[in-house]
Structure 1
Amino acid sequence: MTGPAGEAPRFRDNLATLLEAVADAMTELDPGRTALVHGDRTLTWAQFDDRAARLAGSLAAAGVGHGDRVGVGLHNSPEYLEGVVAALKLRAVPVNVNYRYREAELEQVLAMVDARALVCDGTLAGAAVAVASRTPGLRAVVVVAGDGDGAPPGGATGYDEALAGPPLPRRERSADDQVIVLTGGTTGLPKGVVWDCAGLCGLVSSAYKRVDLPVPADTAGVVASALAAAGAGTEPVVLPASPLMHGTGFFAALGNLVRGGRVVTLPQRSLDCAALWTAVQEHRVAELVIVGDAFAVPLVAELDRAAAAGTPYDLSSLRRVFSSGVRWGTQTKRRLLEAGHMTLQDTIAATEGGPFGLSMSGPDPDSANTVFTLPPNARVLAPDGTDVRPGSGQEGVLASTGNLPLGYLDAPEATVAVFRTLDGVRYAVPGDSATLEADGTLTLLGRGSGVINTGGEKVFAEEVEHVLAEHPAVAEAVVVGVPDERWGSVVTALVVAEPGTAPTAQELADHVGGRLAGYKRPRAVSVVPVIERTVSGKIDRRWAAEQALRLDAPAQS
């Protein structure tokens, strides 16, 4: 079978069926072969498959079936992956649920997706039970209790209890079975991006491409590739440090499991840099998934601390660090490359598709860069749907083809607007603006929500942030618009300084003014100790706007 835009033949199957085949092969090769690691816990492939089947059996006994939506509201853990696979075994539809939701948010989201079951952390249990009493369609709440959480509240089932029953028998499934990935902005309900398993198989096949392996054509080929890697001792080990409830970490974990590899998750519920580097060292992690500078800056600081203390971490196994959705700075990349022999992949992507742009660095520290180029599957589109001419300076929007979702849940108009067919090929066009330079590189301008209107001119916040981050004294930056009676909005920047530096507001504003048009120059700049971020690692622009409103000492106007 040939995929979109002339792709080579590749496997298309139900992900649960595919993982069952891999689990059987790994178990036959070695019954003790590890699939999942979480702190001191390890699960073999046989245990992973059996636990997911038992959870599926428990959900089925509660009345959950084909096509029903199953929310998974968990921190990174084996139970997260078991919950997703259990739903797929049932031919139900797994849906990621933010574990930080409060009761009202949880109720809204469960109602939006019409959830029949929820597998959640103990911290979410009380809200889940309260919501269940007002949500007649919710038939089961399964709680994974953490340390100090106590027994599940009445109306909920403990995870161990759910695993005590018989496993769901294996069954025929379809590559058309679905997964919903919720993705949201800064306000309102998230959007549900609907993938079928066939599309997800194509998406996770990038796990082969990243290591220059041919993508198998069918399930038998997937199993053969996994066995070959296991036999050669080259089965991959991935540590998704970013939340599994978001696409980057989730897709990386799925791709690694499909390859017969091992997934390492951390029991700490916030970023613990020492624990992360210790896990990389102890479990010989080959691929690390992070969220730009939100993770990279403190991770590099921990490497520096350990080296200064005479106890450097052994990063010899680490071959790739992957980030998507949040750009990271050149200096941070350089410091990572100085610590080990690896490749850094910075990707512009979205839950709706991608990649839209790639920036590769390594293994030479001097190769560190933040220059993005178009991958073969992507274009920059002018308003009339034609390609932006390189070097024209014309603003366009990024579009990508290849493995794409079916569309948005219950939102046909939004689906038509974002998923466009051009010249007979379907593209995802979520709205990221860019210009294409004469040398083929991209200048990223951000999305409409990041546009600041000042004196009738449009300023793209990400463009200014990128220039600020190029200053050697800037670790990271966020730019927002502050209301102004004369100009409508004025460009305002918050920056975190590199350790040992003390950049002034004037210096930073002048740095931008020397690179960009005068109206893009920040009118106020403040050096702050930290830039707050959302759980997905993206800059919390609402927080930044509140902070910017408090600034009253402008840089030179």
Structure 2
Amino acid sequence: MSSLFETGLEPTEANYATLSPLDFIARTAEVYPDYPAVIHGGIRRDWRETYQRCRRLASALSDRGVGKGDTVAAMLPNIPAMLECHFGVPMLGAVLNALNTRLDAGAIAFMLEHGEARVLIADREYGEVIRKALSRLDNPPLVIDVDDPEYGQGTAISELDYEDFLAGGDPDFIWQMPADEWQAISLNYTSGTTGDPKGVVYHHRGACENAMGNQAVWSMGQHPVYLWTLPMFHCNGWCFPWTITAFAGTHVCLRKVDPEKILQLIADHHVSHMCGAPIVLNTLLGASEAAKSGFSHTVQAMTAGAPPPAKVIEAVEAMGIQVTHVYGLTEVYGPVTVCAWKDQWNDLPVEERAAIKARQGVRYHTLAGLMVGDPESMEAVPKDGRTVGEIFLRGNTVMKGYLKNPEATAEAFRGGWFHTGDLAVWHPDGYVEIKDRLKDIIISGGENISTIEVEDALYRHPGVLEAAVVARPDEKWGETPCAFVTLKPGAQDVTEKDIIDFCRERLAKFKLPRTVVFTELPKTSTGKVQKFVLRDQAREL
């Protein structure tokens, strides 16, 4: 029997519209046309012009036959063209594939072919690697060359210039919202440290919701001034191209992470918000004292990735940069949990506050479900702050799935949850704290050792710049912690004994690193430490 409130009450054009971040720019350009939208070197654009440029891009792509379901790849740094791609491409119903600018030719060729890119918009800085990638393809895409005036180097990748291409488009191009919010809006590839990278597909609804989730958890308000320290190619910049646009903010572009430049831009443009991995925050600590004292306002910084060491959080906040810790993955549009702050924590000692802030926290308003559970039984673990389980997520901000990979998609969604592969505990207050990756946990003499806990202790050593811990085979204990450490300049006299003695004061005996290797840490193109490489090295020691 039908419900009283369902009979005859159907969705119509009057009471139902699909969710998409595309409407954000239309509203902002209508309400705040003269407000600043983009700052890039000497370039200043308002929202009227930025919207027109996005429509020109959509129009020009349409003239080249690009339409619904087609893939448009972009190999661009954090420049205005990349922001324009986040709106101009999906205005056609096409799918944006933002490529990692640190990848080699083989990986780029794989992604262009796997994603069936019709068009590639590429900056001249990457001309050489793009040419090598295209030479591997039987059916290469149409290439559009971007000559960024802030770079002024490199050689043209194509005779088709981006600015000329836009000039041929219609600034009043009439575009359509997607008829179905489940329609794909972007394609992002995982790092692929083992095997081929997987293509993660986002939809309009998820992009819209996570963009709003960013605002909700960060209380950004109207007209934020956002500095692009986070790559826009990474999970579509954690959906911030859409968030900042929705609230008529200003996008301050930055081609390359440079601590002195970051601090200068913060001072010059009164930057209010920025995002990045903990390594970005760490680099700021090495900037000159003049640069660090060049601004007096508080800057909000959102960080994710490996949990930032408490020592880093302490030092950065002493500079006037307030840290918010979030957690997410490529498969969930970037961050979906946040260490939501509580007033009673303000009175705790600095070190305790930083330790709490390093937790991954609670779910975004826009994430339907978060659970720490047993990977096999799928039963929730107790909220005791001790029992380790895997983090599971569900909701609209979980990917559609992996492109052309139904087996991996089915495995990722087994049991009605997305399996993150991250191990965590659930605290009594409901806050999640990651202890390790499922594949990284060290089991020594039957005891579980969190590599993250050991790394946090290592980062507290004044001579340590970077640290990573992996398991090393041991005849007696099965596995013991092996620490790989990069020392700060001027700390080259630090010894293995110094490191172990330092950790002895902060860790239980069974958790101490038995081996310390001083070296540069191997990393993926997205800056993640390649622990599988370190594990191989540890086995050979």
TM-score, normalised relative to structure 1: 0.80
AA aligned to 2:43 is R
Runs (5+) with no aligned partner, structure 1: 1-8, 214-228, 553-557
| Structure 2 counterpart of 1:313 | 294
* CA 1:12–1:331: 2 relative to 1, 3 Å: farther
AA aligned to 2:529 is I
C-alpha separation in 1, matches of 2:524 and 2:341: 25
Is 1:477 aligned to 2:463, yes or no? no
| Structure 1 counterpart of 2:195 | 188
Runs (5+) with no aligned partner, structure 2: 1-14, 364-368
- Deviations along 1:89-132, one digit per CA (max 9) or x if unpaired, are 11100012122333322211111111111111213335445554
Is 1:338 aligned to 2:318, yes or no? yes
Is 1:380 aligned to 2:382, yes or no? no
Cα distance, 1:510 vs. partner?
A: 4.6
AA aligned to 1:274 is E
AA aligned to 2:381 is V
* CA 1:127–1:509: 2 relative to 1, 3 Å: closer
| Structure 2 counterpart of 1:295 | 280
Q: Superposition pairs for residues 158-557 of structure 1, below 5 Å?
A: 158-167=161-170, 169-174=173-178, 175-178=181-184, 179-212=186-219, 234-247=222-235, 249-267=237-255, 269=256, 271-292=257-278, 294-302=279-287, 304=289, 306=291, 312-318=293-299, 320-340=300-320, 342-353=321-332, 355-356=336-337, 358=339, 366=350, 367-369=353-355, 370-372=357-359, 374-376=361-363, 377-382=369-374, 383-391=376-384, 393-402=386-395, 403-420=397-414, 422=416, 427-437=417-427, 442-452=432-442, 459-471=449-461, 474-482=464-472, 490-497=480-487, 504-510=495-501, 512=503, 520-528=511-519, 531=521, 533-541=523-531, 544=534
C-alpha separation in 1, matches of 2:128 and 2:487: 41
Q: Is the 8 A contact 2:390 2:421 kept in 1?
A: yes
Q: Superposition pairs for residues 70-219 of structure 1, below 5 Å?
A: 70-129=72-131, 131-132=133-134, 135=137, 137-146=139-148, 147-149=151-153, 151-153=155-157, 156-167=159-170, 169-174=173-178, 175-178=181-184, 179-212=186-219
| Structure 2 counterpart of 1:4 | none
TM-score, normalised relative to structure 2: 0.82
AA aligned to 1:189 is D
Q: Is the 8 A contact 2:60 2:168 kept in 1?
A: yes
Task: Give secondary structure in 1 for the equivalent of 2:30.
Answer: helix
Q: Is the 8 A contact 2:325 2:360 kept in 1?
A: no
Cα distance, 1:277 vs. partner?
A: 0.6
C-alpha separation in 2, matches of 1:104 and 1:419: 29
* CA 1:465–1:139: 2 relative to 1, 3 Å: same
C-alpha separation in 2, matches of 1:462 and 1:135: 41
| Structure 2 counterpart of 1:14 | 20
Cα distance, 1:182 vs. partner?
A: 1.7
AA aligned to 2:407 is E
AA aligned to 1:203 is N
AA aligned to 1:469 is Y
Q: Is the 8 A contact 1:62 1:140 kept in 2?
A: no
AA aligned to 2:404 is D
Cα distance, 1:436 vs. partner?
A: 2.8
- Deviations along 1:162-184, one digit per CA (max 9) or x if unpaired, are 12212272222213332112222
Per mean C-alpha deviation after superposition, the further-off stretch among 450-459 and 278-287 is 450-459
* CA 1:190–1:136: 2 relative to 1, 3 Å: same
User: Number of residue pairs matched?
Assistant: 505
Cα distance, 1:256 vs. partner?
A: 0.9
* CA 1:49–1:440: 2 relative to 1, 3 Å: closer
- Deviations along 1:345-389, one digit per CA (max 9) or x if unpaired, are 112211222534627599888233354154154221123112101
C-alpha separation in 2, matches of 1:38 and 1:11: 35
Task: Give secondary structure in 1 for the equivalent of 2:252.
Answer: strand
RMSD, aligned CA: 3.4
* CA 1:455–1:186: 2 relative to 1, 3 Å: farther
- Deviations along 1:397-447, one digit per CA (max 9) or x if unpaired, are 01233432212212222222223555xxxx432110122345655452322
Q: Superposition pairs for residues 30-49 of structure 1, below 5 Å?
A: 30=34, 33-49=35-51
Q: Is the 8 A contact 1:380 1:435 kept in 2?
A: yes
AA aligned to 2:208 is C
* CA 1:459–1:330: 2 relative to 1, 3 Å: closer
Cα distance, 1:295 vs. partner?
A: 1.3
C-alpha separation in 1, matches of 2:69 and 2:362: 35
C-alpha separation in 1, matches of 2:359 and 2:17: 30
Q: Between the two proteins, what is the percent identity of the paired residues?
A: 26
Q: Is the 8 A contact 2:125 2:154 kept in 1?
A: no
